[in-house]
Structure 1
Amino acid sequence: MGTRSGCRSLFVVRRWTRDTILALFFALASLALYAATAAPSVATLFDDSLEFQVVLPTLGIAHPSGYPLYTLLGRLWTLLLPLRDPAGRANLLSAVAAAAAVGVFFLVARRLAGSRPAAVIATVALIISPTWWSQATIAEVYALHGLLVALFLYCLLRWEGTPVAAGRRQVAAGGAGSSSFQLPASNTRWLAAAALVAGLGLTHHHMIALLAPAALVFVIRTDPSLLRRPRRWLPLLLCALAPLLFYLYLPIRGRVTGSLDGIFTPTAWGTLDWLLARGYSVFLTSNPFGVSRGLGTYLSLFPDQFGVLLCLGALPGLAIGWRQNARRYVLLLLATAAQIAFGAAYKVQDIDVFFIPAFMLVALWAAWGMTILVQWLESILTRYSLLITRYSLLITLSLSAIVLVQPAVTAIRAFPQQDRSRAWGVYDYGADMLANIAPGGEVVGLLGETTLLRYFRDVLGQRPDISVVPADAETDRFAAVDTALAAGRPVYLTRDLPGAAARYSLDAAGPLIAVSPKAAPAVAPAGRPIGAGIVLVDARGEVRWTHAGPVVRLTLTWAATAPVAEELKVSARLLDEAGQVVAADDRVPVHFAYPTTAWAPGEQVQDVYDLTQPAGAAGGPYGVLLILYRVADGGEVGRAELSAVTVGGG
């Protein structure tokens, strides 16, 4: 008996050691994938990623609920990691969090399903699922949120499996064997860990609260004595509430800095309103974006992530999983229902990321369901052949691997979109803006565009002389421009401002629009006549090198000899030696902001066009052709050939 017991103990140790090694393997493998495809620096303009890439390195105030845990972790991470720039480091933080979540997810699936192959299949499906992968390569909150969700479930399942919890269930069921059965001192270490993780989750993303009803039912069903001994809840509540002290970061730090939109106020009510994210309740109570989704849209979210077969594999778990373990079944069922209900009720455009916990839970259902299905198949097959019994593991792996075909094909096809490792476009755009701002200049634009400039100024320490004014409302942009002009500061717009052409003179300054007081009519300077009363005063071509390759920038100076009655567009073209167009840029002058009908006679207008050499194109001289044509009917009014530009090979 002693030898057999010792062998059994050794087997258990070896089994969990293998699972730990597998979890570590999946974590490292996914980390390699996510780090290799992570964006190298700033990669987006109009989402939260850019905001976090400014907030984390500078200890700023993120949008509601403030995300203090993520901010403090991100600050420490960007300080200590010696790789990439701060934005790239923030992206790698998501890769690390997502990889850690994958490792913990495997352990959860292994405990829940009881089958190692099923847990492996579910884990691989999660690793390459489109939404999860996309959030592992940029600075976002969802990878860390997924890690906290997985840790919370893991701690609950570990607590359920402790001898103390099992003993209490045995007593509650009357199966202790004798009235003298004694329970050891309550071991709530893993339950306390779950409470602590839940508290940390509340300081990161409030959606973790959706797991609370399922967790409470699970805990009470696992240890009913908790209902009779309320004092045992006190240390658990302390563990859950203690992390909320992280929210003190908001009013403390808010006294020296603010949110990027300038709205946060570090008062008690301002902090409470911020951490509760009351402003976002509008997406639950109304539909400000006019989002329209039917049942089919929500149902298709899951096959889009995991493929049809894996989703079908979840059905046996949903159908009869309660027979194997009713407590775990209720835990998963309530948690999944809460996550899906919230996602369906939350009327935002990027709904996929809010379904990430639901995706993880469905993958767990799939692991459980595949285990049940394989057990059923083995019970049938073993009746007919001992050979099949001998190779049951191979059969199990083969059948399970079939469900990964569709997710794998989807991942391979989507790889060019998922791979952000060469996504330098936003960084190059920001550097280009910065290079074209006069000393002491002010840039007025949308929040995302000005946040990009703040990254270069506040995080990288470049151009501390410039100021930025985020103004999404057009009236606010007009007010900011008027204030800057009255103070005599150089002022720029990041995009067309309707009505600005009638009030100001506008010129292109790289990708920006330089604003100045409206020019008075004057005598037109000498230049090359193009047609329709337009002359080309000056034209310069230069080759700019970006991360994507060479770009030919044409800087043109136009003038009108008389008022222009019709709106014209410019077509700038790059021609190869055979006269074929290899690149073109067609637009209304000054980045669509300053139509020819708004030009004052004699006013000189600077205009900019970028012509990108196609990838793989041969280097050498390229011709440059300008065509002026009417917007109304496309009729050409004039053209001019410029000096050739020598471009290096792409």
Structure 2
Amino acid sequence: MTLFFYLLTVCRTLYTGDSGELAFVIDSLGIAHPPGYPLITLLGKFIVSLVPGNTAFVLNIFSSVLTACASGVGAIVIRDTLFQGENRQETQAIVVSISAACLWGFANALWASAVGIEVYSLGMVLILLSLLALNSFFETGKYRTILLSVYLLSLGMANHLTASALALPILYALIRARAPLKIWLYSASLAALGLTLYLYIPIRSLNDPILNWDNLSSLGAFFDHVTAKRYQDYMTGLRLENYAENFARSLSLLVRQYPLWLGLLGLLGLALSKRLSTPFKIVITMVVAFNFLTVALYDIPDIEQYYLPSYFVSTLGVAALLLWLRERIERMRPSRVGWPLYGALCALVILTIFTNYNANDQSQNRLSYVYGMNILNCMPPNSILISTGDNANSTVQYLHFVEGVRKDIEIYDPLKTTGLLRKKLTVAGDAWRSGFDLCMQMIIAYPERSYFSKEHMLRRNSPFDYASLPLTPHGMVYRVGNHPVDPTIWNRLEIPEFDDLSHIDVKGMTMLCNLYLNRGEDRQRAGDSTAAYKDFMRATDIASKSPEAVSHNSLGVFFRRHRVVGLAEEEYRKALESQHLTADEKANIFVNLGNLQKDKGNFDGAMANYSRAIAINGKNTEARYNLALTNAYLSVSHRRFDDAVGWFEEAVSFSVADPRLVYNLGVLYDQNLHDTARAVYNYRRFAEIASPEAPESRAARRRIEELSR
């Protein structure tokens, strides 16, 4: 039954999120984002080699089948843990396990895994098979079952690190059984065997596939990739305030899976039920505890599917709770209440389908496909696209490299296609050069042909600062250099209409917002401020559904950059009132509010906001940098030049500092403090780090000559 609904709601084309990247990786046998996902890559390649059709659609169907398998294996786990021996063949056992598995299959997070290619469905199949084998070990004591559990766990780890939730339970089972040394050795060997799938990553990276995340050229780079070191910045939960906020979000996501608070009631059912064996109860308690406690360390908007192991345990608890209620009722009234129990379970399944259907019906969702096509359709013939941002990369790279759209253009990415960049620029020997440096060299070499993809929402860790580059908006891309704006380009682009925004997930929301922000930006630059404001307001309406503070904060940053101060202030206010607001993000918002006050000339208000940010997070570099910078300019305005020098020196010490601050120091020593030696030192210091073509750089060199005579 679950497969029927999955196929009914599956996306017929390229889906949002990481689906485009995964489809590209699978088709080309590339290297996916950390930790690399070798198992789904190889298995998916086998599928697309066998099954004809559009690659994205075939893989979406494959994900539906895997999710249905996760539901089916879930039925077996529920039956084998809630019923014993011959009772497993009784009608009650079969009906309860199938009904509960359907309930599990229609949980929001699992259903969302079925409508587009992702790694989570395969992960849950392996986790549940490993859990099934572990339960068999508790029942039979046969070591081959726990060895099977270990191997399935290691395969799960080669798919997604959420499978690590079973590592401690397996360790507990081995210790509890007092397993002999040879079993420990076999277990270690089988664990290592499954993890050898990760060797695909360095081996394939040596062959330099088109999509080659991080261009793994050393053992250290490989280790950093498989441990997802790149994403350590998302581990905001290392601070207690952030952790509490993330943990609260995890509970709200559990409630969201089913109607009637069934997710939380399921945990109650586990506590009350006596049908589960004590060892298995300990195991699933460890799974939920590990899953909740570790995932709450991360702060990413699309975190829901990381909790799938806990959602399954909760579903098991719902079935256990209904069986417990039945047993209690039968004790009070010695009459059979089996059929009412079955009816209640079926009613819950039907209610869950009705509740979750709209949010997971992606059968008509073309947003990701349209988004990518819009970007490609903005590109002139034989041009070069520097693609940045998850949404742009996932869509345009799949459409271009897999479906062959716009083969006349070249597409490069500073993280994933450094091999292509080196070949284009013939700098194969400069292995130390970053993808960012290579992209900037590309722009210098081909300024008339170069374009950037536009991405305004959720741009964390983007290597490019649009405001610091000479760019002209051109639909869904930026053209390098200063050129006339042509807003008529939007006449050949499409913005999908959604009557019901519940159909789109957080990645879809950012895509739709970006479409309106990009069109509004073009209209604003062309002088049509009224039409631009309407687009900006539509973006805020779409984002208003997001419970994430980071969504509103990124909108505020965009509006401030485009001098729409009222909307910027409103979005920062919404960010501070958001359902999910970590302490780190709150500090970021106060920094942005400070920047807004600084723009208005209200330096006292700016410093107050920077100070609030530092009080929340003393390590917030932007707050400390801006506070020092504001104090420096205030000191200059009050002619306290010695104080200004100290504040400028502090500001320069931060990695985010504008190099022109060093030039300012030279000017202060030169014109105000009349310290020639320090003036020359700072002018030279600036000339070494600034572009030789910058006006300040030429002025610094000229002044050095004058002072050195």
- Indicate the TM-score class for this superposition, using the shorter chain for normalisation: 0.5 to 0.7
TM-superposed CA distance for 1:86, in Å, is 1.1
Matched, 1:191 2:135: no
More helix per residue: 2
1:55 to 13, 20, 25: 25
One-letter amino acid of the counterpart of residue 396, structure 2: L
TM-superposed CA distance for 1:110, in Å, is 0.6
1:112 to 81, 86, 92: 81
Query: In 2 relative to 1, CA 596–479 (structure 1 residues): closer, same or farther, beyond 3 Å?
Result: farther
- Cα RMSD of the aligned pairs, angstroms, is 4.0
TM-score (normalizing by structure 1): 0.65
1:367 to 319, 333, 336: 319
User: Matches of 1:485 and 1:468 in 2, distance apart?
Assistant: 16
Are the equivalent residues in 1 in contact too, given 2:28–2:210 (CA < 8 A)? no
Query: In 2 relative to 1, CA 476–218 (structure 1 residues): closer, same or farther, beyond 3 Å?
Result: closer
Q: Deviations over 1:475-500 (max 9, x none)?
A: 99898477436436522232289997
TM-score (normalizing by structure 2): 0.60
Aligned to 1:594: 525
Q: Deviations over 1:518-576 (max 9, x none)?
A: 58xxxxxxxxxxxxxxxx99989978899989xxxxxxxxxxxxxxxxxxxxxxxxxxx
% identity of equivalent residues: 23
TM-superposed CA distance for 1:295, in Å, is 5.8
Aligned to 2:14: 42
Misfit runs of 4+, over 6 Å: 287-292, 475-479, 496-503, 536-549, 585-590, 631-634
Matched, 1:206 2:161: yes
Aligned to 1:257: 208
Are the equivalent residues in 1 in contact too, given 2:257–2:263 (CA < 8 A)? no
One-letter amino acid of the counterpart of residue 78, structure 2: A
Aligned to 2:359: 417
Partner SS, residue 254 of structure 1: helix
Aligned to 2:189: 238
Query: In 2 relative to 1, CA 460–397 (structure 1 residues): closer, same or farther, beyond 3 Å?
Result: same
Partner SS, residue 164 of structure 2: helix
Q: Which aligned pairs between 1:86-105 and structure 2 lie closer than 5 A?
A: 86-105=55-74
User: Matches of 1:280 and 1:137 in 2, distance apart?
Assistant: 26
User: Matches of 2:182 and 2:138 in 1, distance apart?
Assistant: 20
Are the equivalent residues in 2 in contact too, given 1:53–1:87 (CA < 8 A)? yes
Pick which of 290-299 and 349-358 moved more.
290-299
Query: In 2 relative to 1, CA 547–400 (structure 1 residues): closer, same or farther, beyond 3 Å?
Result: closer
User: Matches of 1:540 and 1:251 in 2, distance apart?
Assistant: 43
Query: In 2 relative to 1, CA 290–53 (structure 1 residues): closer, same or farther, beyond 3 Å?
Result: farther
Q: Deviations over 1:284-328 (max 9, x none)?
A: 465799787276543332222123363465356433445862122
One-letter amino acid of the counterpart of residue 368, structure 1: A
Query: In 2 relative to 1, CA 71–51 (structure 1 residues): closer, same or farther, beyond 3 Å?
Result: same
Query: In 2 relative to 1, CA 314–393 (structure 1 residues): closer, same or farther, beyond 3 Å?
Result: same
Pick which of 134-143 and 430-439 moved more.
430-439
TM-superposed CA distance for 1:456, in Å, is 2.2
Aligned to 1:377: 329
User: Matches of 2:276 and 2:386 in 1, distance apart?
Assistant: 62
Pick which of 424-433 and 491-500 moved more.
491-500
Are the equivalent residues in 2 in contact too, given 1:122–1:367 (CA < 8 A)? yes
Aligned to 1:69: 39
User: Matches of 2:340 and 2:441 in 1, distance apart?
Assistant: 74
Q: Deviations over 1:367-400 (max 9, x none)?
A: 2232222122223221xxxxx33xx332322344
User: Matches of 1:209 and 1:427 in 2, distance apart?
Assistant: 34
Matched, 1:490 2:449: yes
Matched, 1:303 2:255: yes
TM-superposed CA distance for 1:357, in Å, is 0.9
User: Matches of 2:107 and 2:45 in 1, distance apart?
Assistant: 29
Query: In 2 relative to 1, CA 590–79 (structure 1 residues): closer, same or farther, beyond 3 Å?
Result: same
Query: In 2 relative to 1, CA 357–279 (structure 1 residues): closer, same or farther, beyond 3 Å?
Result: same
Query: In 2 relative to 1, CA 376–485 (structure 1 residues): closer, same or farther, beyond 3 Å?
Result: same
User: Matches of 2:564 and 2:323 in 1, distance apart?
Assistant: 66
Partner SS, residue 257 of structure 2: helix
User: Matches of 1:353 and 1:79 in 2, distance apart?
Assistant: 28
TM-superposed CA distance for 1:100, in Å, is 0.5
Are the equivalent residues in 1 in contact too, given 2:82–2:275 (CA < 8 A)? no
TM-superposed CA distance for 1:89, in Å, is 1.9
Are the equivalent residues in 1 in contact too, given 2:100–2:345 (CA < 8 A)? no
User: Matches of 1:632 and 1:538 in 2, distance apart?
Assistant: 19
TM-superposed CA distance for 1:32, in Å, is 2.1
Q: Which runs of 5+ in 2 are unaligned?
A: 84-92, 416-433, 457-463, 499-515, 530-534, 536-562, 567-709
Query: In 2 relative to 1, CA 259–543 (structure 1 residues): closer, same or farther, beyond 3 Å?
Result: closer
Aligned to 2:656: none
Computing the radius of gyration from Cα coordinates, the structure with the larger value is 1
Aligned to 1:132: 110
Query: In 2 relative to 1, CA 287–465 (structure 1 residues): closer, same or farther, beyond 3 Å?
Result: farther
TM-superposed CA distance for 1:590, in Å, is 6.6
TM-superposed CA distance for 1:246, in Å, is 1.0
1:446 to 366, 382, 388: 388
One-letter amino acid of the counterpart of residue 207, structure 1: T
Pick which of 402-411 and 198-207 moved more.
402-411
Are the equivalent residues in 2 in contact too, given 1:63–1:259 (CA < 8 A)? no
Aligned to 1:427: 369
Partner SS, residue 443 of structure 1: strand
More strand per residue: 1
User: Matches of 2:211 and 2:102 in 1, distance apart?
Assistant: 38
Q: Deviations over 1:99-120 (max 9, x none)?
A: 1110000000011112434323
TM-superposed CA distance for 1:188, in Å, is 3.4
Aligned to 1:396: 341
Partner SS, residue 11 of structure 2: coil
User: Matches of 1:138 and 1:308 in 2, distance apart?
Assistant: 27
Matched, 1:354 2:306: yes
User: Matches of 1:334 and 1:286 in 2, distance apart?
Assistant: 20
TM-superposed CA distance for 1:402, in Å, is 5.0
Are the equivalent residues in 2 in contact too, given 1:302–1:359 (CA < 8 A)? yes
Q: Deviations over 1:250-301 (max 9, x none)?
A: 1110012258575232322221221122333444465799787276543332
Partner SS, residue 451 of structure 2: strand
User: Matches of 2:175 and 2:465 in 1, distance apart?
Assistant: 64
User: Matches of 1:499 and 1:339 in 2, distance apart?
Assistant: 36
Partner SS, residue 341 of structure 2: helix
2:51 to 60, 71, 81: 81
Are the equivalent residues in 1 in contact too, given 2:471–2:481 (CA < 8 A)? yes
Q: Which aligned pairs between 1:219-368 and structure 2 lie closer than 5 A?
A: 219-221=174-176, 224=177, 226-227=178-179, 229-257=180-208, 260=211, 262-284=213-235, 293=245, 296-308=248-260, 310-311=262-263, 313-314=265-266, 317-321=269-273, 325-368=277-320
Query: In 2 relative to 1, CA 198–596 (structure 1 residues): closer, same or farther, beyond 3 Å?
Result: same
Q: Deviations over 1:133-176 (max 9, x none)?
A: 111111211111111111111112233344xx2xxxxxxxxxxx
Aligned to 2:664: none
One-letter amino acid of the counterpart of residue 355, structure 2: T
User: Matches of 1:372 and 1:632 in 2, distance apart?
Assistant: 59
Q: Which aligned pairs between 1:554-593 and structure 2 lie closer than 5 A?
A: 591-592=522-523
Are the equivalent residues in 2 in contact too, given 1:310–1:403 (CA < 8 A)? no
